């Protein structure tokens, strides 16, 4: 059973559209992360969330990105205006050791 559950498993969107990726933790933890992996490339850190606040973000995580925990349990990663280069697998993970969810494959066309 995954540590976190992500939806959708695959999202296809047109360039310039907004997308929202969701992550549901199985149990309560303090640390959550979003990572992404462009096809054939390294897993890259995007943002960390500690105790319901952003604790750290990478240079990738620019103004186009936002993360929320709207109801105290689910996490969302929003990309406001998608670009072709946003196409990647997006992973939610809990804890510093990064127990990953199954990922959302985002395809921007």
Partner 1 sequence: QKEVEQNSGPLSVPEGAIASLNCTYSDRVSQSFFWYRQYSGKSPELIMSIYSNGDKEDGRFTAQLNKASQYVSLLIRDSQPSDSATYLCAVKYLAAGNKLTFGGGTRVLVKP
Interface residues toward partner 1, by CB under 8 A: 31, 33, 35, 41-45, 48, 50, 55-56, 58, 89, 91, 96-103
CB of 79 to partner 1, least distance (A): 19
**What is the number of residues in the chain?**
109
Q: How many Å apart are CA 84 and CA 56, to the nearest integer?
A: 25
Write the CB contacts of 81 (distance below 8 Å, at least 6 apart in sequence).
16, 17, 18, 64
CB of 68 to partner 1, least distance (A): 19
Q: How many Å apart are CA 38 and CA 27, to the nearest integer?
A: 28
CB of 3 to partner 1, least distance (A): 10
Q: Which is nearer to partner 1, 62 or 71 (CB)?
A: 62
Q: How many Å apart are CA 51 and CA 16, to the nearest integer?
A: 32
CB of 86 to partner 1, least distance (A): 18
Q: Which is nearer to partner 1, 15 or 30 (CB)?
A: 30
Q: Which is nearer to partner 1, 53 or 71 (CB)?
A: 53
Q: How many Å apart are CA 101 and CA 67, to the nearest integer?
A: 16
């Amino acid at each position: 059973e995954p540590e976190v559950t992500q939806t959708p498993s695959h999202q296809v969107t047109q360039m310039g559209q907004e997308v929202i990726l969701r992550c549901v933790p199985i149990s309560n933890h303090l640390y959550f992360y979003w990572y992404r992996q462009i096809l054939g490339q390294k897993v890259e850190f995007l943002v960390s969330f500690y105790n319901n606040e952003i604790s750290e973000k990478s240079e990738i995580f620019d103004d186009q990105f936002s993360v929320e925990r709207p109801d105290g349990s689910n996490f969302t990663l929003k990309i406001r205006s998608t670009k072709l280069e946003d196409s990647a697998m997006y992973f939610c993970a809990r804890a510093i050791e990064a127990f990953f969810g199954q990922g959302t494959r985002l395809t921007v066309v």
